[in-house]
Structure 1
Amino acid sequence: MNQIFDWLFSQYDGTPTHIVVLELIGVFFAILSVVFSKRNNILVYPTGLIGTAIAVYILIFYGLLGDMIINAYYVIMSIYGWYIWSRKVDKNHYTPITRTTREEQLKAVGIFFGTMLGVSLVYEFFDKWENWVSYTDILTTGIFFVGMWFMAKKKIENWLLWIVGDFISVPLYIYKGLIFSAILYLIMTIIAIYGYYSWKKLLNKNLQTV
């Protein structure tokens, strides 16, 4: 066990202590947020906002522009999602879980490619291209932008995008030496799988009561 901890913390040699502490706090709130999301609980947003604010600072420090933009976007979409989730569609019911429509799917494709183009231009402008890391960062940014939009609108497909994006992010963060964040994304991949099936049960229940 000691060898595991020694290996984990050896990845942070030369890293400022406050960055390590902030990363651990951010990991805690990120996991808490995903758990609340799985439970269809509106607390996903306040806990997510705390984790997001910490992540933006850390990502600026490490120069991961795509992920930094993702988290800045999360702040905006969290406020929007908080409003949607708390809005009542009638006297007794809040916004329900639904599947995406054809129109929403087309918009999602536009958001995905538009996001990747935008982040690519940011990398080009700041001359931050870095082998496969930059391309992976751009890809996951597109995936997460659509995923966050779907989650804010309570679309079940958001979980499929989180599963793919979280899994792809694991090697990216290992390469960057952010081991705790890599572990976080691995945990979130597992939670996202459970989240999808949890929401699917709720969706089927809602359809049966309509």
Structure 2
Amino acid sequence: MIEWILAEWMQILGFATGAACVVLAARRNVWTYPIGIANNVVFLAVFVPAGLYASAALQLVYLVLGVHGWIRWTRGVEHDRGYVARTPRRAVPWLIAVAIVGTAVLTWVLATFTDSQVAVADAATTSASLVAQYMLNRKWIENWGVWIAVDVAFVGLSIATGLWIIAALYALFVVLCIGGWRGWTRVMRESPAAVPADARV
């Protein structure tokens, strides 16, 4: 058991910090961001050797989005723990466009410059994750639906690349995201938030 822990400690640490990050997000606790940034660093070290280059690069982008979310949740309208909003309708086409274009560009990059065997899946989950993280930063409740879809895809992707602990983590994420969605829905019912006037950063 000890040998296994020593061999897989990076995945285990990623599991722990990742789970804590989602639980805190579900509770609308701003500590989700510093712990999330620590999780990014761990996953970066796990994904590169596994050949998940887009997912590894995603961790770097998450660092930037983590700072953005940290600022929004401490200085923006999102700092109110009782604030939860629906995604503005005019933001939806842009979010979809970002996901599609991001997937196309990353697929080309991975297929052209790396030896990735899962370029399309890696690119798609990466792009969708960025969209979901931005939505979470803005406390748009539909972020949970996007996260659930991404996490289900990551379970299959992690199994395909032999990262069984990470696969188990993403399976747990699905359960936690469902709980987060239900919790945010209750908050919205108790204290409805106005839909943001625009979708700008």
Determine the C-alpha separation between the residues in 1 that align with 2:145 and 2:33. Answer: 19
Q: How does 1:1-210 map to 2 (within 5 A)?
A: 17=7, 20-89=8-77, 93=80, 96-130=83-117, 133-207=118-192
Q: Which runs of 4+ in 1 moved over 3 A?
A: 92-95
The RMSD of aligned alpha carbons is 2.4
Q: CA deviation at 1:98?
A: 0.4
Deviates more, 1:198-207 or 1:93-102: 93-102
Determine the C-alpha separation between the residues in 1 that align with 2:114 and 2:169. Answer: 29
Q: Max radius of gyration: which structure? A: 1
Q: Which amino acid aligns with 1:128?
A: D
TM-score (norm 2): 0.87
Q: Which amino acid aligns with 1:145?
A: L
Determine the C-alpha separation between the residues in 1 that align with 2:75 and 2:189. Answer: 21
Aligned CA distance change for structure 1 residues 135 and 197 (closer, same or farther; 3 Å): same
Task: Name the SS for the 2:29 alignment partner.
Answer: coil
Determine the C-alpha separation between the residues in 2 that align with 1:127 and 1:208. Answer: 45
Aligned CA distance change for structure 1 residues 201 and 180 (closer, same or farther; 3 Å): same
Instruction: Give unpaired runs (5+ residues) of structure 1.
Output: none
Percent identity over paired residues: 23
Determine the C-alpha separation between the residues in 2 that align with 1:118 and 1:208. Answer: 36
Instruction: Give unpaired runs (5+ residues) of structure 2.
Output: 195-201
Structure number with the bigger relative contact order (C-alpha 8 A, sep ≥ 6) is 2
Q: CA deviation at 1:44?
A: 0.6
Aligned CA distance change for structure 1 residues 79 and 88 (closer, same or farther; 3 Å): closer
Work out the number of aligned pairs and report it.
Answer: 192
